[in-house]
């Protein structure tokens, strides 16, 4: 029998770690003196201690190590899933580092641009929270929103391909408040709350070739003020973009929040608002 000190030297594991493994049921001593509490191990327990230490160094949680010990046939799948989780975490960390470099080196700035006219396919983004019966607080889960938006983008891009058209620019999302009916539904859990637009080089589409819920429309030329935030969209980046845009000075003009777009760029999301001259303003909510 090996004392905990000897077993520690053989396994090259601190005694404190072995006590932790014991408390979690991962490596239980062969004997524990009921009077002194001294732990004793057998030499053949080294293999189990080695396996536990290896799995823990790989980053597996105690519950997963416990499962691997109880069900060794599941261990390869556990390791594959863990490797994928690490890959996603590293990817997220790399993206965060890229974001940090942008924000530290030069904070994104507002710019003015003339946006040309284009035709676009348009469809609503399903309100998933409402489908699950969730309340208002769940409407704007940003990760869920981004996933749902890209599902619609991909669907419209596939539709464009089927129509013999080419996607001619970056897609965008905007609030679903373009018609009276959309504005009425916008304030309900069912929505829709967002529309997706995918620009295409197709001027005419027979209505019968469009699925239900998809429209083909003209996006008219306009002057916009915009700012691009790097990385994945989030509530904080959205708020920061709005803050910068609304604080930007304009002469005899204002930014039309009702015509705000969130353009999906390769490196981030560009928030853009139409610049409206005071003497040209028409209230869209009267239409």
Q: Which domains does the chain have, with CATH numbers?
A: 2-76 (1.10.1660.10), 111-286 (3.20.80.10)
Q: What are phi and psi of 34, to 5 degrees?
A: -65, -20
CA 179 to centroid of chain Cα atoms: 29
Give the N- to C-terminal CA distance of the chain in Å, as an integer.
88
CB 29 within 8 A of CB 48: no
* CA atoms of 222 and 211, how far apart (whole Å): 29
Model pTM score: 0.68
Structure tokens at 87: 């890959």
What residues have CB less than 8 Å from 154, skipping those under 6 apart? none
pLDDT in tens, the chain (287 residues): 999 999 999 999 999 999 999 999 999 999 999 999 999 999 999 999 999 999 999 999 999 999 999 999 999 999 999 999 999 999 888 888 888 887 888 789 999 999 999 999 999 998 866 555 555 444 567 888 899 999 999 999 999 999 999 999 999 999 999 999 999 998 888 889 999 999 999 999 988 999 999 999 999 999 999 999 988 888 889 999 999 999 999 989 999 998 899 999 988 999 999 999 887 766 655 54
Residue closest to 122 by CA, chosen among 164, 168, 156: 156
Residue reference for tokens 């799948």: 77
Whole-number Å distance between alpha carbons of 148 and 219: 22
- Residue 198 Cα distances to 49, 81, 169, 192, 216, angstroms: 57, 35, 8, 17, 10
């Amino acid at each position: 029998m090996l004392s905990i000190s000897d077993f520690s030297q053989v396994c090259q594991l601190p005694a404190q770690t072995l006590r932790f493994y014991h408390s979690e049921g991962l490596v239980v001593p062969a004997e524990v003196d009921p009077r002194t509490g001294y732990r004793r191990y057998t030499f053949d327990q080294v293999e189990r201690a080695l396996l536990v230490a290896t799995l823990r160094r790989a980053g597996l949680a105690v519950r997963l190590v416990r499962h691997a010990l109880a069900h060794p046939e599941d261990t390869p799948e556990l390791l594959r899933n863990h490797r994928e989780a690490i890959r996603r975490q590293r990817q997220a960390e790399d993206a965060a580092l890229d974001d940090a470099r942008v924000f530290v080196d030069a904070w994104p700035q507002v710019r003015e641009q003339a946006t040309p006219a284009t035709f676009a396919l348009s469809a609503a983004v399903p309100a998933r929270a409402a489908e699950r019966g969730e309340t208002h607080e769940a409407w704007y889960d940003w990760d869920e929103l981004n996933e749902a938006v890209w599902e619609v983008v991909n669907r419209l891009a596939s539709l464009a391909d089927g129509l013999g058209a080419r996607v001619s620019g970056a897609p965008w999302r905007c609030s679903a408040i373009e018609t009276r009916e959309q504005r009425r539904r916008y304030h309900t859990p069912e929505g829709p709350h967002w529309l997706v637009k995918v620009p295409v080089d197709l001027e005419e589409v027979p209505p019968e070739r469009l699925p239900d819920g998809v429209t083909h429309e003209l996006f008219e030329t306009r002057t916009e003020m915009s700012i691009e935030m790097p990385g994945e969209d989030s509530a904080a980046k959205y708020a920061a973009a709005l803050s910068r845009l609304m604080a930007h000075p304009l002469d005899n003009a204002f930014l039309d929040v009702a015509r705000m777009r969130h353009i999906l760029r390769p490196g981030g999301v560009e928030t853009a608002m139409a610049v409206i001259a005071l003497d040209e303003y028409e209230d869209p909510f009267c239409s």
